Structure 1
Amino acid sequence: MDVRGVDRIVKVVLWHSGAVDVISVLYERDGREEQTRHWGKPEGQRSEICLEPDEYLIGVKGNLGNFGGCFLLGRLTLIGNLRTFGPYGTREGPPFDLPAAGGKIVGFHGRSGGLLEALGTYVKMDD
C-alpha cells in the first residue's frame, strides 16, 4: 500500500502466539479508510488496536525471535501519544526500538513468509 498522503493510522490488527504472526493496518486518507493486506499468516490470538482521532503512534519496540533458524518478530509493543499497547508475543531475543523522533508513525512496511519477519515504520515530522 502506498502510504503517501495518509492522514492517520486508524487501527492495527495483530495475530500473535509465541511470536507476532501477522500485522494488518487500517489507514485514513482524505476521509476514506484503506486496509492493507496481511503480512504473515493469521494464527494465534487476534488483537485490535483502535486509535482515537487525536491519538497516534510515536514508537515501536520489541524483540526479535528465532524460529527454525529464521528471524521473526518475537515480541512487539506499540507506543502511542496517549497509551501503550502490548507487548504482543512472548519470544525473547535481541531488542529493537523504532522511535518516531518527534514525529508520528503514519505507516508500516514489512516482510513476511509464513510469519512476520521484519517491520519498519514511516514517520511524518510535525510541521
Structure 2
Amino acid sequence: MGPCGGDGGGGRDMDMRGVGRVVRVAVRHGAAVDAMSVLYERSGREEWTDLWGGPGGTLSEISLQPGEHLTSVAGHYGRLDGELVVRSLTFVSNVHAYGPFGEERGVAFELPAAARGGKILGFHARSGRRLDALGTYVVVNNAG
C-alpha cells in the first residue's frame, strides 16, 4: 500500500523473498521523520534494511515480541523546509500502538493491513535528507 508523502528523494525497497515478520523498527525523528530502518526476519535470520533518510533527529526503537505483528501505520505528511516529507509515524500492532514519532502536522494518512488477520511484513519508501514517503507490504490471512 502507498507510498504516502512526497515524491522527493530516491526509491527504497525491501527484498520481500522469505520475509516472515518485522522484528524491530528504528526511527530518527524531530520536526519530521528524518529516517527509519527495519529489522526483519527472513528464513529464520534477522537482517536490517539500510537507513532510509538522514542522520538527524532523536533515535527511537520499537521491538515487537514473538506473536506480535504490525497491523497499521498511520502518520502525517506535510511541508518542512520547502520539501514534502513524512512529518509523523505511529506504528500499530496487534498488541500496542507505538508513537507518534515526529510532529503530527499536515495531511493525515493510514496504511492498514487491509483486513482482519492482515499483517505488515515490510516497507517501501522514498528518502533523501529525510523520509519523503512510506508504503507497506502486507499479507492477508483469509483463514478464519
Q: TM-score range by the shorter chain?
A: over 0.9
Secondary structure, counterpart of 1:121 in structure 2? strand
Aligned to 1:117: 132
Q: Identical aligned pairs, as a percentage? A: 52
The equivalent of 2:141 in structure 1 is 126
* Aligned partner (choices 49, 62, 65) of residue 78 of structure 2: 65
- Which aligned runs of 4 or more in structure 1 are off by greater than 3 angstroms? none
* Aligned with residue 26 of structure 2, among 13, 18, 40: 13
Q: Which has the higher contact order (CA 8 A, sep 6+)?
A: 2
Count of aligned pairs? 127
**Do the aligned partners of residues 41 and 15 (structure 1) sit closer, same or farther apart at CA in structure 2, a change above 3 Å counting?**
same
2:8 matched residue in structure 1: none
Conservation of the 8 A alpha-carbon contact between 2:76 and 2:105: yes
Structure 1 gap ranges (5+)? none
State which of 89, 94, 102 in structure 2 corresponds to 1:81.
Answer: 94
- In structure 2, C-alpha distance between the alignment counterparts of 1:53 and 1:109, rounded to whole Å: 23
Normalised to the residue count of structure 1, the TM-score between the two structures is 0.96
Unaligned ranges ≥5, structure 2: 1-13
Q: Which amino acid aligns with 2:95?
A: L
Given that 1:65 and 1:75 are in contact with CA atoms closer than 8 Å, whether structure 2 keeps it comes out as no
Report the residue type matching 1:51 in the other structure. L
CA RMSD of aligned residues (A): 1.0
1:5-44 CA distance string (max 9 Å, x none): 2010000000001111001000101110111001100211
1:65 deviation in Å?
Answer: 2.1
1:28-74 C-alpha deviation (Å, 9 max, x unpaired)? 01110111001100211100110001000000111112122211010
Greater alpha carbon shift after TM alignment, 54-63 vs 89-98: 89-98
